[in-house]
Amino acid sequence: MHDTRDRGKHKARQYSHGEPVRQDAPTRKSLLMQTPVLVLNASYEPINICAARRAIVLVLKGLAMPEEENGHCLHAARIAMRVPSVIRLLEYRRIPHQTRALSRKNILLRDRNTCQYCGVVLSSSDLTLDHVVPRSRGGSSTWENLVACCHSCNRRKGNHLLGETDMKLLKEPRPFTLHTSRHIMRMIGRSDNKWRKYLFY
């Protein structure tokens, strides 16, 4: 009797001990992998933001080196790696001072995942792109005519021109240039001390 109970307790302890680790580890890891990392050119000029996953690949490939770490450690297979907060490219990359590629990803980045009509902030998968002047009314797919939009505002607006509704844009949509990305880098950098010295000069 005593024996069985003891074995049961032991099993329970093992179970409760093992369970949270199995559940938490992948979640924490995938969150860590998405942490934004500041990318510097070889000249220390900030040029981009990427996810930690991409930053680690660049470092492992020998294309970049970590300049700052975020204090977290990532264990994969048999190696442990410190997660970078800032990386620097080893070879200087010429950045043309022109507009970035027009893409869904870049429009959501420009609009900071914020519905440009009601201001709600959503994950990329919960946002859609809205043609300010609907395509059916001659609107084109350009930086100035595409904005991040939640599904409910998108349905509400339908095929109307803005003037035919009571909806308003939060701000006028502009092309996404290096200037825009600098602005976004600074906004994110405000909460990360390790980014500051590269951004506020």
* C-alpha to C-alpha distances, 70 to 3, 83, 141, nearest whole angstrom: 49, 6, 39
Closest contact distance (angstroms) between CB of 114 and Zn ion is 9
Nearer to Zn ion, 25 or 121 (CB): 121
Closest contact distance (angstroms) between CB of 117 and Zn ion is 5
Nearer to Zn ion, 88 or 157 (CB): 157
Helix axis angle for 2-34 and 52-60, nearest 10°, is: 80
Closest contact distance (angstroms) between CB of 127 and Zn ion is 9
Is-contact 124 130, C-beta < 8 A?
no
Nearer to Zn ion, 167 or 178 (CB): 167
Closest contact distance (angstroms) between CB of 173 and Zn ion is 15
Nearer to Zn ion, 86 or 115 (CB): 115
Nearer to Zn ion, 32 or 118 (CB): 118
Nearer to Zn ion, 117 or 143 (CB): 117
Closest contact distance (angstroms) between CB of 66 and Zn ion is 39
The distance in angstroms from the start CA to the end CA of the chain is: 73
Binding site for Zn ion (CB under 5 A): 115, 117-118, 150, 153
Closest contact distance (angstroms) between CB of 156 and Zn ion is 8
